Chain A
């Protein structure tokens, strides 16, 4: 199932249960998967047209009036374009607005560099009070959306909107502020987010075949990062690799480095280099940016060699 379909179905449940839950779009409801909800919830769905700044501040006004607004757009327009509105109308004013950015990083594919946000987490991460969450698969997403809705405060959901491999199994229990350990290991810690998680699972298997016992942890919430889990794992294994579909500056790699700043532990990265995106399908872009299983294996070995 496409991630956006899962997201839309959970939002429909939430809107049915609570008339104060509402969604605001900036002409991209079809991309977000929520377009059909307009007919079902005419009093809870608002298309602002191509005006993201206005959308963000209107949502803040609605939140101040007791509503629980979710705003949606492509990732660059939901973050860097409205950074000041998120900072002031939403976060500084402590208005309970949820922000959904779809097509993170290379998943913008054929829309290319202008729509391919490699920097969205970096843009938002230094704004006080915001939670940054990036779901891995439909299991996690389905569990997370009600939790995010119930959380009182701004949350950015970095949503890969198409089909993606399922990583989490039945019985998965979601905690917004707790990272998920997918595999325990002793030789190095791999901290991974979003669409790269399934690749990291494969890489960990390949590493195991070569005798390297990797601990694999999904950091679904990049801010506030689960310091306890990151520190405990890094201290246990003594080597760290971060894996993310984001610029190496400002995202998961930076968050982990900040967490481990006082530890003498090597931290390697698989991430988008400090560059803009370009058009292409995901397999091509993975190669260009180094977001491959092979590169995860190589950088994991590098981290272990630095111990």
Chain B
């Protein structure tokens, strides 16, 4: 297993570009913004075994912003859950890799998501289950900033704090953009830190959520929250489309975008710094 997180992020980014480029279209912006979080979770933080994906007591990951499926698949493939060649089947008829994460189709996926808000509640339920079993499993949930406009997110936030689920670590991909425009203009979720804090959560904010060292440091810091009696929210200030200039420049237009194979090849070269 590779350990250089910066290199791992490059690999994951390149694989995202390649599989979405092969397909021709995809949720590229919100995939590229979460790469660092996924790399740190799957290559450093989580107690998992790709050879035994159903290992009892393993840590769980729920991608509540289910449309980041391709980013999760690229991470799983790099971590050894399945062959990288399978990434090219993304969204093809009969694939095991659909747009949105599906626990019944994909090896290594712990929860189905796609209808925003629900995955986060499911993660809370998993964290409650782990507490009841007393197996020491931690549960990580990735939430979108646009997704945080869903009322269900806050229902779940309230419940997780009320039940003292300190084995739950959530991550907000705060890239500030949603389909229709800037989050601040559509229906502002700020101040996220104060909201989560007011809901009874530990809050850690990361200035640059696409700096893998900062993300790694923040997730190491969550270890201190293990017996705090509170769930923990890590807010990552990220850039939607991070790592590929023309996609970053599309702004809110990069949510679900056409990507040609030629553009994907150029992006891979850009990511590799060639």
Contacts and interface: CB of A to CB of B under 8 A. Distances in A.
A89 interface: yes
A172 interface: no
Interface in B84-143: 102-104, 110-112, 114-115, 117-130, 132-133
Interface residues of A, number: 28
B192 to A, nearest CB: 19
A88 B103 CA distance: 11
A106 interface: no
Instruction: Give the size range of B's interface with the partner.
Output: 20 to 34
A89 B122 contact: yes
B225 interface: no
B129 A66 contact: yes
Contacts of A46: 128, 163
A58 B115 contact: no
B49 to A, nearest CB: 18
Contacts of A62: 125-126, 128-129
Contacts of B156: 54, 57-58
B130 A65 contact: yes
A66 B102 CA distance: 18
Interface string A73-92: 00000000000110111001
A54 B112 contact: no
B159 A48 contact: yes
B155 interface: yes
A66 to B, nearest CB: 7
A57 B118 CA distance: 6
A54 B129 contact: no
Contact of B128 (A49, A51, A61, A85): A61
A61 B126 contact: yes
B132 A43 contact: yes
Interface string A161-193: 000000000000000000000000000000000
B106 to A, nearest CB: 12
Given A65-B133, A66-B129, A88-B112, A58 B152 contact: no
Interface in B144-190: 151-152, 155-156, 158-159, 162-163
Given A54-B156, A58-B125, A61-B125, A67 B112 contact: no
Contacts of B111: 60-61, 64, 93
A59 interface: yes
A94 B102 CA distance: 10
Contact of B152 (A53, A59, A65, A92): A53
Nearest to A19: B132
A54 B156 CA distance: 6
Contacts of B128: 46, 58, 61-62
Query: Which of A53, A57, A92, A93 counts the most B-chain CB atoms under 10 A from its CB?
Result: A57
Interface string A283-305: 00000000000000000000000
A43 B158 CA distance: 19
Contacts of A58: 121-122, 124-125, 128, 156, 159
Contacts of A89: 112, 115, 118, 121-122
Nearest to A92: B112
A49 B159 contact: yes
B129 A85 contact: no
A65 B60 CA distance: 10
Contacts of B110: 64
Contacts of A94: 104
A273 B1 CA distance: 65
Contacts of B155: 48, 51, 53-54
B132 A54 contact: no
A61 B117 contact: no
A222 to B, nearest CB: 25
B152 A54 contact: yes
Given A65-B129, A93-B122, 20 more contacts: A43-B132, A49-B159, A53-B118, A53-B151, A54-B155, A57-B117, A57-B125, A57-B156, A59-B125, A60-B122, A61-B128, A62-B125, A64-B122, A65-B125, A65-B133, A66-B133, A67-B129, A85-B118, A87-B115, A93-B104
10 contacts: A53-B155, A54-B124, A58-B124, A59-B125, A63-B125, A64-B122, A65-B125, A65-B129, A66-B129, A93-B122
Top 8 nearest A-B pairs (CB, nearest first) are: A61-B125, A65-B129, A57-B121, A54-B155, A58-B125, A93-B112, A51-B155, A61-B122
Interface of A: 43, 46, 48-49, 51, 53-54, 56-67, 69, 84-85, 87-89, 92-94
Interface of B: 102-104, 110-112, 114-115, 117-130, 132-133, 151-152, 155-156, 158-159, 162-163
